[in-house]
Homo-oligomer: A and B are copies of this chain.
Amino acid sequence: MKKLGKGVYLCEWGERDNFSPFTLLGTQPKEDKRADAECPFSEKELVFEEKEDGVLLSLPVSEDEDFYGLGLMFKKVRQTGRQLHLRVNSDPIANTGDSHAPVPFFVSTKGYGVLVLTAREATFSFCNAIQKRRRSALGENRIVTDVNALYLSDNRGSDVRIFLRGAKGISIVIFAGENTLDAVERYNLFCGGGALPALYGLGILYRCFGGADEKAVLDTAQTFRKEGVPCDMIGLEPGWQTYTYSNSLCVNRKLFPDFYGMVKKLREQNFHVNLWEHAFLHNSCPLYDELFDKSGDYEVWQGIVPDFSLEEVRRTYAEYHEREFLSAGIDDFKVDECDSSDYSTNWSFPPYAKFPGGTNGEQMHQLLGTLLAKTFHDRKKTDNKRYFSQIRSLGAGASPYSFALYSDLYAHKDFVRGIINASFSGLLWTPEVRQCESERELLRRLETLVFSPFVCVNSWMIPSPPWQQWDCEKNNRGELLENREELTKKCRDILSLRMRFLPYLYAKYFEYALHGTPVFRAMPLAYPQDLRFRDCEDEYMLGEDILIAPIDADTNAQRKVIFPAGEWIGFFDHKVYAGEATIGGEMPIGVYVKRGALLPLAQAAENTDAKPVPVTVYAFGASEGETVLYEDDGESFDYESGKYNVLKITYRNGKIQTKSEGKFGGKLWEIAGAEEINV
């Protein structure tokens, strides 16, 4: 057992695996300023076994211990009692370990986390596999006839087991702490800290209709400004390229005759441009010949699959993007299909593919998304420009990259679980809004979206925004809603909420970057001692002060909200809540502020460009309070060398006091006033 840093321990058995994400990423841990912590295990408590077909590691478990994590799982939060085999798959529809962003890292309610340094498909059993022992006491007479009781185990095993098929050894990193949040923070810091997106990235991204040409894109952007619906980013779908799928990565001049002029116009209106792409390269792509020999031995959609584990491939790819796109004012990308669907539909390279750098298909599937994120991230660092892009797969070590995950799946409950589970594994997730079945669904989904890591309204299937027509077919036929003005206003109000929460959100992202503390947090992270939250799949925290309880889009059903200890004040209704409450029906999403919190809210703007942003602080249910905001230029990586201010705001007896400390010379927030929410 080797100590790598405060509370971080490396344990290795057998032959070290040939590829680990961390080696490939060149991960540089960020300084952990907290107290040291002892390893929760002694060496002899960890049992390593070499099996004929792989290696098995067993870790002891306490009786009431629960387990979370393993990346972007959609079907379950608490994984105790489950076995998961982590496999990259774009259509994960059961809790088997298939995911487009599996991460071989889990946390325990005992306050530790375990990361497996592997690019293989790892199998985790959480108290699920019970070793045989001779049982002598006869059981009671018992017949199970209740369908719910049938498949419940009688007892749980006393081990977590990690199986690596095909491996001859295993390397794990243990993150010690007082609680689950400690372990997650340490993991994120070990990966290099959390992501700090550009400020504009916390605004709204609107992805235009797939069939849109240059004029349609500019018209769409225009409409946002005309109608005052907030928007910071405009996304272009495949149509901007001459050839998809696979990708030419060349501008389609038929649809976009003055592409770069369009980009310039959008930038002048303070829109940041995001281009769809994937990394499977068609022979019409200028990089095809250069990267042919540096690609895997299988094609995807007739395109080559460059080996992004090779530094020179990443450089070539990044330089092309710099030359063709970044230098022309394009800031972001939607990096699609790096998640593999060889097991559910019919694309991607097979597990037995081989890449020049030495990885096989099984390993590359686990690595591709993260390596692509690194490719873009490293270039952005060189340019000293922050960003907030999208990607469909990430894995271990991805926390420093400003990429939000998304999916083609659409169940609202799964999307909420996505926000929750992402928080355990250094991931960010967007429960994007596409088409809807009803106005109610559109509103409930938008509300969840604005209280999530990344706001994306993805209208690639519809020419007009969903608030003009949520029905996909009617939208395509140009049949707009009669009440579209009223609905646009409702949606604008919801999206404006995102803009109002900007100062608070930005502070939480800063803390994510500096301390590894997730912005959005599963309840077992935020309240690890509160057993009522162990199975919670539909509530989460935004920072320490705000509880979010989305209302399901699929039905008119009501839902129960469980409140952490203390009193909570409804953000919309200003009522006091404690214990439990039932909400739903026509009510909006549950947003509750902790009594005593001082919540800084911005004046809603249509984008994040104008600075400083006027901020009002709201004292919720108290006549005093304090909060901290962060200020920097919002767009460079200068904060990493200390160029940011910590702005401490105190409110007492009707008066605001602010105190700014740090090396940033400018001003991001203008504290304009205070209000008490008395209840």
With both beta carbons as reference points, the residue of chain B lying nearest to A166 in the complex is identified as B53
Q: Which of B153, B296, B347 contacts A153 (CB 8 A)?
A: B347
Q: Are A302 and B123 touching (Cβ within 8 A)?
A: no
Closest CB in chain B relative to A91 CB, distance in Å: 6
- Whether A343 lies near B97 (C-beta < 8 A) is yes
Rounded to whole Å, the gap between the CB of A566 and the closest CB of chain B is 35
- Identical copies in the complex: 2
Q: In the complex, what residues of B have CB within 8 A of residue A299's CB?
A: 130-133
Nearest CB of chain B from residue A279's CB, rounded to whole Å: 14
Q: Is A650 an interface residue (CB 8 A)?
A: no
Within 8 A of B (CB), among A226-243: 237-239, 241-243
- A136 CB within 8 Å of chain B: yes
Q: Determine whether A260 belongs to the interface, using a CB cutoff of 8 Å to chain B.
A: no
- For A245-256 the 0/1 string (1 means CB < 8 A from B) is 100000010110
Pair B139/A283 contact, Cβ less than 8 Å: yes
List residues 328-373 of chain A with CB under 8 A from any CB of chain B: 341-347, 349-354, 360, 362
> How far, in whole Å, are A350 and B214 apart by their CA atoms in the complex?
55
- Of B141, B151, B344, the contact of A94 (CB 8 Å cutoff): B344
Minimal Cβ-Cβ distance residue in B for A209? B145
Q: How far is the CA of A128 from the CA of B345 in the complex (A)?
A: 10
CB-based contact B284/A138 at 8 Å: yes
- Asked whether B83 lies within 8 Å of A342 as measured between CB atoms, the reply is yes
What class of interface size applies to chain A in its complex with B? 35 or more
Complex Cα–Cα for A360 and B123 (A): 15
Q: Are A296 and B161 in contact (CB under 8 A)?
A: no
**Per-residue 0/1 for A85-108: is the Cβ within 8 Å of any B Cβ (1 yes, 0 no)?**
100010101111110000000000
Within the complex, the shortest CB–CB distance from A544 to chain B, in Å, comes to: 34
Q: Are A139 and B282 in contact (CB under 8 A)?
A: yes
Chain B hits for A150, CB < 8 A: 245
5 closest pairs, A vs B, by CB? A145-B210, A129-B350, A135-B283, A96-B343, A81-B346
* Other A-B pairs beyond A155-B302, A165-B165, 17, CB < 8 Å: A52-B360, A54-B352, A85-B343, A94-B94, A123-B352, A130-B302, A131-B298, A132-B297, A142-B242, A143-B239, A143-B244, A143-B255, A144-B238, A150-B245, A151-B346, A154-B245, A166-B166
Q: List 19 A-B contacts (CB under 8 A).
A: A53-B166, A54-B352, A93-B94, A123-B350, A129-B349, A129-B352, A130-B302, A131-B297, A131-B298, A132-B296, A132-B297, A133-B299, A138-B283, A143-B241, A145-B211, A154-B301, A163-B350, A163-B352, A165-B362
